[in-house]
Amino acid sequence: MEMISKRFEELDVYGKVTLKSKLREIAYHDLNSMCAPSEMVKTKGAQKRPMTKQQISTQRDPSYWKHVDALHSEQNSNSLVKRNASSSEQPFERRTMLMLDQFHLCIYDSIVNIVDVKVDGNCGYRAVVALLGMGEDSWSLERNHLLKELTKWSDDYINLVGGIDRFEELKRSLLVDGLSMVIMDKWMNITNMRYVIASRYF
């Protein structure tokens, strides 16, 4: 603990926020995204399975980059040449997600879910709590959490966001009347609020 405390004092504001989030993952492991395996994996006494000719082969497996290059060249050739209607190849099936076409093709495989939240000025906060599994209607609770986070670590966040004025502006943006539409000044500013969200929830 002394070493961690000493290291914490040596870090800049960004490093302190990162270290704090890592310590929170250790202390509150039930809040992080890591999950225990659903069942124990047997590592000993596995039954021998007959190996295929390909598995027995001593030919070197291509590197990761060769796999990627081959994939890109195949995608490019497929985009230039129309498939024959009588082709026996089945297209790759993936779960249909609304608005997926608004993202670049190269990140499709990294997208797990897309949440289309209610548009009322709280949409940034709704999206965060929805993807955290808290339900998008918990946006007011999230604003409360973030306000407490800013207040508790005010000195660090004042340095992080560039001064007391910007810090107070962020705090004011979290205070809303839940009965009315939210004006633009109360919308989420992800540029600075991302640090607060990451520190509070991750």
Question: What are the tens digits of pLDDT across the range 62-105?
Answer: 555 555 556 555 555 554 444 554 445 555 455 577 778 888 88
Res 157: pLDDT: 92
Closest CA to 200 of 134, 160, 147, 155: 147
pLDDT digits (tens, 9 = 90+) for 29-43: 665 555 555 566 666
> What tens digit of pLDDT does each residue of 147-183 get?
999 999 999 999 998 899 999 999 999 988 766 678 8
Q: For the chain, which residues make up each domain, given as ranges?
A: 2-30, 123-201
DSSP 8-state secondary structure symbol assigned to residue 39: S
